[in-house]
Structure formats: C-alpha cells, structure tokens
Structure 1
Amino acid sequence: MKILVTGSAGFIAGYLIEDLLQHGHEIVGIDNFSKYGKVTKSYDNNPNYDFVEGDAKDVNLLKELIADCDQVVAGAAMIGGISLFHEYAYDLLAENERIIASTFDAAIWGLKNRTLKKVNVISSSMVFESTNLFPTPEGEQLKCPPPLSTYGFQKLACEYYAKGAWEQYQLPYTIIRPFNCIGTGEKRALCDKEISSGNIKLAMSHVVPDLVQKILKGQDPLHILGEGNQIRHYTYGGDLAKGIRICIESEKAINEDFNLSTQVSTTVLELAELIWQKIKGEKPFNYISDQPFKYDVQKRIPNVDKARNILGFEATTSLSKSLDEIIPWVEEQIYVGGI
C-alpha cells in the first residue's frame, strides 16, 4: 500500500513511518520543518520512503503527492506543549484549519480522480477536554460540552471534516485519537516561548521530557505544574504506531473512531517520582507545585475497549520501560543542545 503522511517529520510520525516501512508499505512524507527545523530520520534513505519538503497547506502539491496513493494520514498540525495553547490560541485554530482543509480538498480530489481509498485523521484526546465521564468512550465527544481550548476545538473540527467528506463525497475515513504519546524525538519547538520552571526552562512543557531534563540538570526540589494529581495515560510511541497502522490496514476501521492508549492511569506526581528514582536512585524526592496553566485538563482517562474488541489492539509497553528509552535520549539532547 502507498500512503501519504503529512507532518512526516513530527514526533508520532517518526514512530509511525518506521512501523509502516517495516510492514512493507511505501510511504510519501511531506513536512515544512516548521516545528523543530531540519531533522534526520533513521529511514531517510529507505528506498520505500520518498520525502518532499513542502507545506501541507499547498493543495496543488498535495494533489501531486496523493495522485498514486491508496491512503492519507492527516498528521500535519501546529502543535506543542500546553504553553502553546495559551501563547498561540488564534494561530493554532487558523493554521490547523487551513492544513486540514487543504488535506481534505486533496483527498476528495484523489478519491474522485485517482485511486485514493481512505483518509486517516490524527485527532487528539483534547476533543474530550470538557467531559466528566471516565473512562471516556468514543462518541462522548458528541455528548459532552465542546473543548474550551482552541486547539481542542479545532481537533474536534478535524473529526467533523471527516464526517462531512463522507456524507457529501463518500470519502472513507478513520479517526484516531492518541493519548499522551511518549518516546524519543520530542524536542523544544522553534515557536515555543521560553518559560521558566524554577531555575530550568520547560522542555516544550510536555511533561515527560520536561521532568526528565529538570531532574538530569539537578533541580531539587523538582518543580511540577499544579498539585501533581492530574491523571494521564502515557502511551509509548511504538505502541501508538502499531495501533495507527492497524487502523490503516483494517477494513473494520473504516468510518470508525478509536481511542489509542494504554489502559494504565498515572498521576503527574507518580510519574515524577518514577523518573526521579530512575535518575537519582534513593535520594529523597522533593517537589514544589507551580501555578498550573488554564487548559491543564485534570483527567484524561480513555476507554480503550473499542480498539481492543474491534481491532485487537492493546498498548503493552509499560511507562517504566518507555522511560528507560527516553531518559538516555533526553540526556543526549541536553548534551548536544536539543533540549
């Protein structure tokens, strides 16, 4: 299968493209390097990977790339840590709206004029930002109040693009909602505003690389956002890549939406203590609570039954094992200046 992946230089895309190539797919990637600047990937020289530097808002370019593709993964987006939600509230909405509209314009063209069969929308757990139902099942985004952040609202709009394109043009789709992806490759974005957390600058304000780098740099007591009782489901990028690939490959995924996540809940404080123990060993753990951000959702707890029952997908990599990979990578990035 030949697949166009937009936002191919991104964090999740790095895991996804590697997995797709390993399973025999041919990949076309497009990215404008606006997030991290130019990056290299382990598969850059793979004969089944064709990368084009370009803007996903360029409909004509997307049509060229989509012309002989079977599916599209709509992954391109302006995205960053929680500080980005507050600094770029309008840009997140406007830029991501332009990207998804261009992607769907090209995909509809590919369906009508070429061989395109489906679009796969990388959505977000933030569509459930305003829910009070936990664990949160698919479909709750249609029942709970809309997201309060412009980022969450636009991600919900992406899902409506899929709905509308199916209703009007019969473009098949799969909506994919990753929950708190963790792994290597997540650095400070070029557009991130520098924000201090104690004596250390936040690393994208994504909690795992942020905590790892602060502990590695010797921050004690450790600064965390809020009281640390926020609940997350930290899902390894390799597991998410497998789940997304199954969504692409399986006919059972057509016109469905799936929460892709580990089923294990972890508080931010539990995460911080685990990282501390891995880096500092038996040294006593101390922390300070900083003022949290407005859109720091207290609970993100997905119901993962649908993905397991329909697709046979389960995220199996533990948080501890993931951290054993992430911590050395962050340490290296600190050394080379990536974080």
Structure 2
Amino acid sequence: MKVLVTGAAGFIGAHTCLRLLRDGHEVVGLDNFNDYYDPALKHARLRWVREQADDFEVHRLDLVDRDGVARLFAIERPEVVIHLAAQAGVRYSLQNPQAYVDSNLAGFLNILEGCRRHPVRHLLYASSSSVYGANQRTPYRVQDAVDHPLSLYAATKKANEAMAHSYSHLFGIACSGLRFFTVYGPWGRPDMSPMQFAKAISEGRPIQLFNHGRHQRDFTYIDDIVESLVRLMPHPPAGNSDWNALEPDPASSQAPWRLFNIGGQRPVELLDYLALLERHLQRNAVIELLPLQPGDVLATCADASALAQVTGFTPRISLDEGLRRFVAWFQEYYSHTALEANRAGEQSDQRRAV
C-alpha cells in the first residue's frame, strides 16, 4: 500500500518507515525538521533508513501549513496515514504551550481534513499514556476515564482522540488512536531519559531524578511499537455494533474509531532502570534526588489486551535487552568519528527533502 508517515525523520517515524519499506510498501514521508532538538540526528536517521532499505521521498512540510498539507494529500493520495508528527515533551509544554496548540491541534486538524477530502483506508495516529493523567489506578485500561490531564501536552493528545472521533463519526474515517508508553531504543530523542541519562553517565555529570527516583514507567522498546503499528495497519476499526450509548465504552464507538494501549506491561522504578543502564554502560551514575515536578505522572502501566485481541501481539522485548541494544547504538553513534560523519552528511541530506 501507499503509506504517508508524518514525522518521518523522528524516532518512531524513522523506524516505522524502515519497516514499511522492508515490507514492500510505498512510503511517503513528511517532516518539518524543526530544531526542538538537533536536526543532525533527524537527517542521520533518514540516511540510516535509506542505507538499510529503499530510497523514499520525504516532504519538508510543517503540519500547520494547511494549504501545503492539502496539496500533499491531493498529489500523493495515500491509502494509509500513520500520523506520528507532533510537538512532544511534557516539560517543554510548560515553557512553550503555543507550539503544542499549533502542531498537535491545528496540525492534526489538517491531517484529518486531508483524510476527509481524499479518503484513506486507515488513519493511525499517536496518542500517549500521558492522557491518563491524575488516574493512579494501574494498569491503565483504554476504558478508563482520561478527564484529568496533568500537562498541556497530555491535554492535546486527549483532544486528538476526540477530534478523530468526530471526523470518524461525521465522515466515516477509520481511525485508531495509539497510546504509546515510554518508547525507547536506538535513534531515540535526546530529550528523553535514556539518551539524557546515558550522556550524563558517560560524561560524569549528575542525573536529576524527580520524585526521588520513585516514578514507575512502562518502558516499551521501539521494535515492539513498530510491530504493533504494522499489525494494526490492516485492521481498520469498523465500528462496535454492541456499543451502548447509555453505558458508553470510552475506547470504541459505533463509528469506525478505536483506542489501543501500546506498552510493555512491565512497569519499572526509575532507580532500577538507571541501575540497568549503568550496568550496560559499565559506569556508575552521579544521582541527585529531587521532589516531584509539575506535570509528571507517578506511574504508568499498560493493559494492552485490546492490542492482543485484534493482532495477537503484545510487546515482548525486556528492558534489559532493550537497553543493551540502545547502549550499543549510543556508543557507536556518539563516537567522535561517527559524529563527524553524521554532521558532514547533514547538508547533502537537506537537499533530498523536497
């Protein structure tokens, strides 16, 4: 099939593009290559994908460019859209809330309009475990209420789910919302804890652990995320014929709309996670224990039974094995020779984005 992947140069996006290309799909990418973090990493990801699989076209385009997104849909006519582009990060939403309104709300509306004007078989879009907010009952079920987000980022992801439902109800767009749980692995984002912690440990800098390191996170390795996406892609929701408007199921609808948790189902305390990272790096961390920060969720744990019901798959790679693979990539990518090669290739890669 012809698949449009937004955020193609991002962490999940690049891995998804690689898998789709290897599976024989025609892939069209979209990315704005913004400087939320070093664009050199984004260009290096695309080079990696092209070296491992076929070349593919990546459109340099911002989601908020309404006319540009409309033209892209009119020209490319994708059969499936995997929408991964967004302004990410809980803490950054405290500093720059407008970026989340622009990208996550206005940008998502433009994607929905594209799917409306040029109908697709299936729209899969990234939501987040952060939507569960103040809810402390774990494991999180997709049937749980998500009425108390603790950050604007989480609020925009909850809004995306509601926006998708309205378009699914009005225009029959088959939509699957994917609540990702703490994704990690090679080519990860520099603002996420695996990269931040690995760099700090390698450089002997202190690591700040909020809530005194007692946070628990359901870490999910990138390959399990991509496998879940690929398995869900040929299963667009058809609408729940048993849906009861008097006792509504928050995770499904009479419309072709459904929600899924994509998580490892094995929460780990951050201190234990850090100990594994120390072991694989073969260095000890310098730790600063600090109080809870605004916007942080205390613990996450996914109930991924809906995913298993539809696909027969649940994430399976252990945190120990996933961190081993991450550290191997981290040490190779951030070696001096590799850094110089990556930066030298960035300028030529920029000319490939159209």
Structure 1 unmatched ranges of 5 or more? 189-203
| Equivalent residue, structure 1, for 2:21 | 21
The answer for the alignment partner of 2:203 in structure 1 is: 217
Aligned twin of 1:180: 182
Contact 1:27 1:48 in 2 (8 A): no
Amino acid at match of 1:207: S
| Equivalent in the alignment of 1:296 | 296
Secondary structure in 2 matching 1:29: strand
- Aligned residue for 2:94, secondary structure, equals helix
What SS does the corresponding residue of 2:4 show, helix, strand or coil?
A: strand
| Corresponding residue for residue 93 of structure 1 | 101
1:71 CA displacement: 1.2
1:28-177 correspondence to structure 2 within 5 Å: 28-34=28-34, 35=36, 36-38=38-40, 39-40=43-44, 41=46, 42-44=48-50, 46-47=53-54, 49-67=56-74, 68-80=77-89, 82-111=90-119, 116-140=120-144, 143-177=145-179
* SS class of match (2:115): helix
Which one-letter code corresponds to 1:108 in the other structure? R
1:333 aligned onto 2:334: yes
Query: Residue 258 of structure 1: SS of its match in structure 2?
Result: strand
User: Offset of 1:294 from its aligned partner?
Assistant: 0.7
Q: Describe the shift of the 1:172–1:251 C-alpha distance in structure 2 as closer, same or farther (beyond 3 A).
A: closer
Tell me the secondary structure at the aligned position of residue 43 of structure 1.
Answer: helix
Contact residue 138 and residue 302 of structure 2 kept, 8 A: yes
Partner-residue secondary structure (3-state), 1:135 = coil
Shift of 1:311: 1.4
CA distance in 1, matches of 2:189, 2:138: 31
Q: Given that residues 205 and 286 in structure 2 are in contact (C-alpha distance below 8 angstroms), is that contact kept between their aligned partners in structure 1?
A: no
**Which string of whole-angstrom CA distances, capped at 9 and with x for unpartnered residues, describes residues 8-51 of structure 1?**
11111111111111111111001110144251322337546221
Q: Aligned residue for 1:230?
A: 215
Tell whether the 8 Å contact from 1:5 to 1:74 is kept in structure 2 after alignment: yes
Alpha-carbon RMSD across the aligned residues, in angstroms, is: 2.2
User: TM-score under structure 2 normalisation?
Assistant: 0.81
- What percent of counterpart residues are identical? 21
AA in 1 matched with 2:233: I
- Structure 1: how far apart are the matches of 2:123 and 2:73? 11
**Is the 8 Å Cα contact of residues 26 and 48 (structure 1) preserved in structure 2?**
no
Q: How many residues align?
A: 312
What is the TM-score of this pair, normalised by structure 1? 0.85
* Structure 1 position 128, deviation (Å): 0.8
Check if 1:244 corresponds to 2:229: yes
Whichever residue aligns with residue 299 of structure 2, its letter is K
> What residue ranges of structure 2 are gaps of 5+ in the alignment?
239-255, 343-354
